[in-house]
């Protein structure tokens, strides 16, 4: 399959598509299965590359995985696990950060785990310090090996009291996946409470875990000696839903997203409405459409749940280039998530980046010289261009820009998009996009 796509833009996306389970839950639920001494079944699983990556990591550890793509059912038999070495894990994991989350379950089941060398720039951008601190507090020893880190639990793992400096999604998951079978009680303050984490907690509860969540971002886990497999249906991918909704808005289209769930989309729906988009919620999904007339500018900042999620930011910014007036977007989760706007400017958008925290809330990047605020001036007609996909969400945003622009764009490196958007080429075709 070629890694480039030619998109002739300027026509509204119209029709219906289906969104299945959330990439950022499914991959973690597959890791949770490793804790169970009997098989697990995960349902509503999308056919995306990250599912393939975690499946091969499970197989590498002796757990057969069987995926019925059409039904979306994934069966994992984790009853007998075997260790794998860092080089094998690295070869299967590619650029994925999932190997970090395997540590707790593997330490419980096998007494050791390895984290391959994830590569300098990737660790530099997205550190794993929170993860290692948590694992060491539970009692894991960490040894630097030539090709990665070796973790062992010579005296088993024991419950901890911990406070996160920032409500990191991955670190909260790390703690949950380790605490459920650690001896004694674990208490976490400052936890991330994203819907994907709530679904992970529900899954672990089905397996036999005892977890209580308080309204103040604290979670208490009482460790148990053994967990069994689960049967669970994933929540919908709210990032993918927001991406298609933004595509509907930017192209003046009308898309029914089957499978979209209002309960996970609240903050996005508020913003969508304030910008001038309209939506209808039904039992089967959400219809997103541009009602005609001008779109309105907005000031918003990304945040951890229940705020406006960072992964919605990039697709929405493309739609904001079509709003009349100045929009301000302050990114507070990642220090460097506006790189994709270079291509938008090349296509005729006017997006200016700032190091200051624009808006009324200061964030931890304000004093650290990161261009993490954007001012978008619109409406600007977009012109076709030759563009290169920078990352998963930025890549989908480039596709939206190409679909909005007059003329034929070539978008290179679209393979990255397969990591998190199931069958996006077929979905584009179903919505009437002119792509080849
Ligand atoms: N952080 C640290 N140290 C750590 C871990 C995180 O400083 O040890 C910082 C990060 O650098 C970042 C912030 O904490 O500035 C938040 O990172 P978090 O740990 O919450 O993110 P993550 O778990 O690595 C997941 C999703 C991301 C999503 C974020 C925020 C997965 C596989 N990834 O990442 O999704 O943006 O939570 O909601 O679940 C995507 O799907 O494209 C994606 C990037």
CA of 126 to the centre of ligand 1 (A): 7
Using alpha carbons, select from 5, 12, 4, 25 the residue that is nearest to residue 232: 25
- CA separation, residue 200 to residues 39, 127, 208, 305, 395 (Å): 17, 22, 13, 15, 27
Could you identify the atom of ligand 1 that is nearest to the CA of residue 239?
41
- Note the pLDDT of residue 372: 95
List every span in the chain annotated with CATH 3.65.10.10. Answer: 4-19+236-435, 23-233
**How far is residue 246's CA from residue 326's CA, in Å, rounded to a whole number?**
18
User: Which long-range CB contacts under 8 A does 307-311 form with residues at least 24 apart?
Assistant: 307/267, 308/267, 308/268, 308/271, 309/194, 309/238, 309/239, 309/242, 309/267, 309/268, 309/333, 310/334, 310/337, 311/239, 311/242, 311/393
pLDDT, mean of residues 306-311: 97
Distance CA 373, CA 417 (A): 25
The H or E element that residue 392 is part of is helix 392-404
Ligand 1 atom having least distance to the Cα of 305: 38
- Report CA(430)–ligand 1 centroid distance (Å): 32
Residue 94 pLDDT: 78
Q: How far is the CA of 435 from the centre of ligand 1 (A)?
A: 32
Index of the ligand 1 atom closest to the CA of residue 335: 15
Give CA–CA dist 118/95, Å, rounded.
Answer: 7
Q: pLDDT (tens digit, 9 = 90+) per residue, 252-304?
A: 999 999 999 999 999 999 999 999 999 999 999 999 999 999 999 999 999 99
Ligand 1 centroid to Cα of residue 168, in Å, is: 6
Given a contact cutoff of 8 angstroms between Cβ atoms, the answer to whether 84 and 60 are in contact is yes
The tally of CA atoms less than 13 A away on the side-chain side of residue 414 is 26
100-109, 110-119, 170-179, 342-351: which has the minimum mean pLDDT? 110-119
As a whole number, the mean pLDDT across the chain is: 95
DSSP H stretches of helix in 321-384:
341-346
- Separation CA 238–CA 235 (nearest Å): 8
Q: What token pair was written down for 357? A: 């925290």
- For ligand 1, atom 22: residue with the closest CA: 170
Cα torsion through 66, 210, 202, 51, rounded to 10: -30
Binding site membership of 368 for ligand 1 (Cβ less than 6 Å): no
pLDDT mean over 139-150: 91
pLDDT tens per residue, range 41-77: 999 999 999 999 999 999 999 999 999 999 999 999 9
The pLDDT of residue 123 is 26
Q: Give CATH superfamily name and number for 23-233.
A: Enolpyruvate transferase domain (3.65.10.10)
In percent, the amount of the chain with pLDDT more than 90 equals: 89
Averaged over 323-327, what is the pLDDT?
98
Residue among 100, 166, 309 whose CB has most ligand 1 atoms within 8 A, to mutate: 166
Using CA atoms, how far apart are residues 274 and 252, in angstroms rounded to an integer?
Answer: 16
> Is 121 a known active-site residue?
yes
Residue 116 has pLDDT above 50, yes or no: yes
Hey, which of 97, 98, 126 would you mutate to test ligand 1's pocket, going by the most ligand atoms within 8 Å of its Cβ? 126
Beta carbon of 130 within 6 Å of any ligand 1 atom: yes
pLDDT at 118: 63
Cβ of residue 313 lying under 6 Å from some atom of ligand 1:
no
Q: Please give the helix or strand (H or E) that residue 199 lies within, else none.
A: helix 195-207
At 214-234, the pLDDT tens digits run 999 999 999 999 999 999 999
Q: What local confidence, expressed as pLDDT, does residue 125 receive? A: 57
Going from the Cα of 291 to the center of ligand 1, the distance in angstroms, rounded, reads: 35
Q: Which two tokens stand for residue 54?
A: 């975690």
Which residue has a Cα nearest atom 31 of ligand 1?
24
Count, residues in the chain: 436
* Percentage of the chain modeled with pLDDT above 70: 97
310 CA: nearest ligand 1 atom: 36
pLDDT band at 121 (very low <50, low <70, confident <90, very high): very low
State in Å: Cα 79 to ligand 1 middle.
30
- Global confidence as pTM: 0.96
d(CA 272, CA 263): 15
Find residue 434's DSSP bridge partners. 8
- In this predicted structure, the answer to whether residue 198 has a pLDDT above a threshold of 80 is yes
* For ligand 1, atom 7: residue with the closest CA: 127
Q: How confident is the model at residue 122 (pLDDT cuts 50, 70, 90)?
A: very low
Largest CA distance in the chain: 66
What is the third-level CATH fold of 4-19+236-435?
UDP-n-acetylglucosamine1-carboxyvinyl-transferase; Chain (3.65.10)
Strands laid side by side in the 278-281 sheet: 14-18, 254-258, 285-289, 278-281
Q: What is the pLDDT of residues 379-407, one digit of tens each?
A: 999 999 999 998 999 999 999 999 999 99
Ligand 1 atom nearest 311 alpha carbon: 36
Residue 360 has pLDDT above 60, yes or no: yes
pLDDT score at 282 = 98
- In the DSSP assignment, the letter for residue 183 is B
- Region at 235 (left for phi over 0; alpha for psi -120 to 50; beta for the rest): beta
Residues 6+ apart with CB under 8 A from 147: 86, 87, 90, 116, 117
């Amino acid at each position: 399959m070629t890694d480039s796509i030619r998109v002739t833009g300027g026509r509204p996306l119209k029709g219906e598509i289906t969104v299945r389970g959330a990439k950022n839950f499914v991959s973690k639920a597959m890791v949770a299965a490793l804790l169970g001494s009997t098989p697990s079944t995960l349902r509503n699983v999308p056919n995306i590359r990250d599912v393939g990556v975690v499946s091969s990591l499970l197989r590498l550890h002796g757990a057969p995985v069987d995926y019925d793509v059409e039904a979306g059912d994934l069966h994992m038999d984790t009853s007998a696990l075997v260790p794998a070495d860092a080089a094998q894990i690295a070869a299967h994991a590619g650029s994925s950060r999932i190997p970090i989350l395997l540590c707790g379950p593997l330490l419980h089941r096998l007494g050791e785990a390895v984290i391959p060398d994830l590569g300098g720039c990737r660790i530099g951008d997205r550190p794993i310090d929170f993860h290692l601190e948590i694992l060491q507090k539970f009692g894991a020893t960490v040894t630097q090996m030539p090709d990665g880190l070796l973790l062992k639990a010579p005296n088993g793992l024991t419950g901890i009291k911990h406070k996160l400096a920032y409500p990191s999604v991955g670190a909260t998951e790390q703690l949950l996946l380790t605490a459920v079978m650690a001896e004694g009680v674990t208490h976490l303050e400052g936890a991330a409470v994203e819907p994907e984490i709530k679904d992970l907690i529900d899954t672990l509860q089905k397996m036999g875990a005892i977890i209580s969540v308080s309204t103040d971002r604290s979670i208490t886990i009482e460790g148990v000696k053994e967990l069994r497999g689960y049967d669970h249906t994933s929540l919908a991918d709210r990032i993918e839903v927001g991406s298609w909704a933004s595509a509907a808005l930017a192209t003046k289209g009308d898309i029914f997203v089957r499978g979209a769930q209002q309960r996970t989309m609240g903050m996005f729906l508020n913003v969508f409405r304030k910008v001038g988009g309209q939506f209808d919620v039904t039992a089967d999904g959400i219809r997103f459409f541009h009602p005609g007339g001008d779109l309105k500018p907005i000031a918003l900042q990304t945040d951890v749940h229940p705020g406006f999620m960072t992964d919605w930011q990039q697709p929405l910014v493309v739609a904001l280039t079509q709003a009349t007036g100045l929009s301000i977007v302050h990114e507070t989760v990642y220090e460097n998530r506006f790189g994709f706007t270079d291509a938008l400017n090349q296509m005729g958008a006017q997006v200016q980046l700032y190091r200051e925290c624009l808006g009324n809330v200061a964030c931890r990047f304000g004093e650290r010289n990161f261009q993490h605020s954007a001012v978008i001036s619109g409406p600007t007609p977009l012109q076709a261009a030759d563009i290169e996909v920078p990352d998963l969400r930025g890549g989908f945003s480039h596709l939206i820009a190409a679909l909005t622009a007059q003329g034929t764009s070539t978008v290179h490196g679209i393979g990255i998009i397969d990591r998190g958007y199931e069958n996006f080429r077929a979905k584009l075709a179903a919505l009437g996009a002119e792509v080849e």
